[in-house]
Amino acid sequence: MRCGGRFDIEKKRARVDLIERESAQPGFWDDQKKAQSLGKEKSAIVEINAGAGGTESQDWAQMLYRMYTRYAERKGWEVDPGDFQPGEEAGLKSVSFIARGDHAFGFFKAEVGVHRLVRISPFDSNARRHTSFASVFVYPEVDEDIEINVNPADVRIDTFRASGAGGQKVNKTDSAIRMTHIPTGIVVSMQNERSQHKNRDMAWKVLRSRLYELELRKQQAQRDKIEATKADISFGSQIRNYVLAPYRMVKDVRTGVESGNPDAVLDGELDQFIQPYLLGVRRKDRPGGSPEAEV
């Protein structure tokens, strides 16, 4: 493996290892905010779409599907097949699957983008060289049973006298409740019940519902952000080139990392590309010419 540019990769890899060990320590899950942040990186939905080019690109999409499921298996992650749209003659038009395991989303998100294959086509009777494209998108799995745990220390509770209709119905006690969730600024007031205890219980329920709705909006914003990163499946937009002819090499356009063993890469050996990207390795000499000059 070769990396473009100078980079203290060992130092950052040591930091990644430290974080991994820290997450396994007793008491780590006592910090709910940190633990929930880590948990969000467990579930990954991977979607692969063939680019233009018919059978060639559809076959390439199927090769990528095998590569990623093999990668997940090497990691010990659980893989659940999702939607599958077969190609017209071979391969597939699109496919999705869910990978569940530690940091699955964190690792797979490094693969988002267009992947380019150059090879002698097995579907061309003249044995000509063809270029194919397929795109990869990765989404965090949405937990429909979102559990909202509200830290009481984050909630300011004020009591006040509920307004009444007059006469005997006037509330003589401070039974009304106002809750302010300090981190988000959400305010909930409840005074329908004459009992402060009942108003308090109802206010907690409404507050959790408001926080649940806020979390759903955050997830939708994250999905919208991911959708906005989708690029055209074509020349110039690829993140990695897989060349099987006239020579054999896989090169990551973003980091400059190369491998002379494309068979191993296509069999799921992807950490050599994913880890440098996640650790911040970036090419400083990325050419501005044609994609052909990238490999």
Question: DSSP string spanning 57-81?
Answer: HHHHHHHHHHHHHHHHHHHT-EEEE
pLDDT tens for 237-251 read: 799 999 999 999 999
Q: Pick the residue with more confidence: 165 or 48? A: 48
Classify domain 9-141+235-294 by CATH number.
Answer: 3.30.70.1660
Residue 290 has pLDDT above 50, yes or no: no
Q: Per the structure block, which two tokens stand in for 100?
A: 């569940």
> How far is it, in rounded angstroms, from Cα 241 to Cα 94?
20
Q: Please, is 242 exposed, middle or buried when counting C-beta atoms within 10 Å of its C-beta (0-12, 13-18, 19+)?
A: buried
Q: Per the structure block, which two tokens stand in for 65?
A: 């599907």
pLDDT tens for 11-50 read: 444 444 444 445 445 554 455 555 455 444 467 889 999 9
pLDDT tens for 166-206 read: 444 444 567 888 999 999 999 888 876 678 888 888 888 88
pLDDT at 76: 96
Residue 289 has pLDDT above 90, yes or no: no
Q: Does domain 152-220 have CATH number 3.30.70.100?
A: no
C-beta separation of 272 from 20 below 8 A:
no
User: What 3-state class would DSSP assign to 282?
Assistant: coil
Domain limits, the chain: 9-141+235-294, 152-220
Q: Please, is 128 exposed, middle or buried when counting C-beta atoms within 10 Å of its C-beta (0-12, 13-18, 19+)?
A: exposed
Return the C-alpha torsion angle 256, 262, 264, 267, nearest 10: 100
Instruction: Say which residue the tokens 């119905």 belong to.
Output: 169
pTM of the model: 0.63
Q: Pick the residue with more confidence: 164 or 255? A: 255
Question: What is the DSSP code (8-state) at residue 162?
Answer: P
> How far is it, in rounded angstroms, from Cα 61 to Cα 68?
11
- Beta-bridge partner residues of 238: 114
Question: DSSP string spanning 187-249?
Answer: EEEE-SSS-HHHHHHHHHHHHHHHHHHHHHHHHHHHHHHHHHT---SSTT-EEEEEE-SSS-E
Tell me the average pLDDT of the chain.
Answer: 79
C-beta separation of 34 from 28 below 8 A:
yes
